[in-house]
Amino acid sequence: MYDYLIVGAGLYGATVARELTDVGKKILVIDKRNHIAGNVYTEKVEGINVHIYGPHIFHTNDKTVWSYVQRFAEFNRFTNSPLANYKGELYSLPFNMYTFNKMWGAVTPEEASTKIEEQRKAVGIVKPKNLEEQAITLVGTDIYEKLIKEYTQKQWGRPCDQLPTYIIKRLPVRLTFDNNYFNALYQGIPVGGYTKMVNNMLSGVDVRTGVDFFEHKDELMKNAKTVIYTGSIDAYFNYSLGNLEYRSVCFENETLNKPNFQGNAVVNYTDAETPWTRIIEHKWFEFGKDEEGKNLPKTVISREYSSEWKPGLEPYYPVNDDKNGKLYEAYKELAAKELNVIFGGRLGEYKYYDMDQVIAMALEKVKTL
Ligand code: UDP
């Protein structure tokens, strides 16, 4: 008999498993995939830690979370500075003085803010109601047209005027020359990959991979007092109230016989003609891999494609618009009636959480148990 059955060996599951094990609870973690670590899973290919489910850069302002993860991994000083490629023109991200200089020739912060203000006024937005209006308010029409509009349409499969404002507010806008994509005090990548980190988190915990919760639900639930479920909340209820919408991504991985393909970990393709949203060159997430290829003569790249989720695909991003928000609330009511089952994580709570938020939520939840 287990005190807790944890469904999903991602960051939420691994954090609660660690904490509950450390207070003497008997835990079983299962995952339907044949590996741990959920979507932060990394796998070594040609000596490079490949982010199999897309790029994950750990960043946080939460000192508790940062100290917590240090227990399980050493972090390097990687700083995410993606580039935008619009029809072959390269721009710095996030939107900062380098971007404004390339776009308009603006040299001073004053010139850049005047330009943004001019473009914002011309469109006449008072209170942004959707992502399009929010983006124009933040950076003006030129940047919206070249770096946001088509990328967002590809990423979300919806036009920007049908998306919520908060998505674009994830990105900083700065009148300084600073290409750091995140406004976070702490940032880095675990040396040796995320799988190693999650493996350390799960040390001494009973873990079974390749086990589908729904296939063995009755038996598994009989053997545990409480279930902590981190899969999709609508899947748990067999989609009885209808499907929540998710965006899915898939990757086309390629190993190239050259040491350096794009000179950066992440390049976003912001035009509509390029079918992928971004290309990841995994070796640049870690250091000591010099571009002449003395250490690593090859490189591994992943082209990322975005699509609407349908059964059989992996759900990645919740589509947190009004319609889905209402449906989620209805599922949440069902969840509240499911005594002895706790729903957590990005899929369990249907929220666009970053890794640090997932860990913070898991630590909070454990305090209540
Ligand atoms: N975005 C954009 N152009 C870019 C990068 C991001 O328009 O070059 C927008 C897009 O709508 C995206 C959102 O900003 O969904 C948030 O981007 P973020 O990089 O945080 O997304 P994630 O890495 O989680 O996919």
pLDDT tens per residue across span 54-68: 999 999 999 999 999
Query: What domains are defined for the chain?
Result: 2-78+189-242+319-368 (3.40.50.720), 83-169 (no CATH)
Nearest CA to ligand 1 atom 15: 152
pLDDT tens per residue across span 110-152: 999 999 999 999 999 999 999 999 999 999 999 999 999 999 9
Asked if 346 is an active-site residue, the reply is no
Predicted pLDDT at 293:
72
The residue-averaged pLDDT of 173-181 equals: 97
The residue-averaged pLDDT of 364-368 equals: 97
Reduce the DSSP state of residue 367 to 3 states and report it. helix
Which two three-digit tokens encode residue 49? 């830690």
Q: What is the mean pLDDT of the chain?
A: 96
Asked if 304 is an active-site residue, the reply is yes
pLDDT category, 296, cuts 50, 70, 90? confident
Beta strands in the chain (DSSP E): 2-7, 27-31, 42-45, 48-51, 58-60, 83-86, 89-92, 186-188, 206-209, 224-229, 246-256, 266-269, 278-281, 299-308, 317-318, 341-343
Whether the CB of 93 sits within 6 Å of ligand 1: yes
Reduce the DSSP state of residue 6 to 3 states and report it. strand
Residue 7 has pLDDT above 60, yes or no: yes
Calculate the CA dihedral of residues 185, 189, 194, 196 and round it to 10 degrees. Answer: -110
At how many degrees (to 10) do helices 355-368 and 63-70 cross?
90
Asked if 354 is an active-site residue, the reply is yes
- The Cα 332–Cα 129 span in angstroms is 26
Whether the CB of 106 sits within 6 Å of ligand 1: no
Nearest one of 255, 242, 270, 48 to 155, comparing CA atoms: 270
Catalytic-labelled residue, pool 133, 304, 349, 356: 304
Q: DSSP for 206-231?
A: EEEES--TGGGHHHHHHTEEEEEE-S
For residue 299, report the distance from its CA to the centre of ligand 1, in Å.
Answer: 25
The residue-averaged pLDDT of 211-224 equals: 97
Predicted pLDDT at 295:
80
pLDDT category, 288, cuts 50, 70, 90? low
Residue 42 has pLDDT above 90, yes or no: yes
- The Cα 62–Cα 26 span in angstroms is 29
Predicted pLDDT at 367:
97
At how many degrees (to 10) do helices 131-143 and 97-104 cross?
60
| Cα within 13 Å of Cα(225), Cβ side | 8
Could you identify the atom of ligand 1 that is nearest to the CA of residue 131? 11
- β-bridge pairing 58-60 and 186-188: antiparallel
For residue 178, report the distance from its CA to the centre of ligand 1, in Å.
Answer: 18
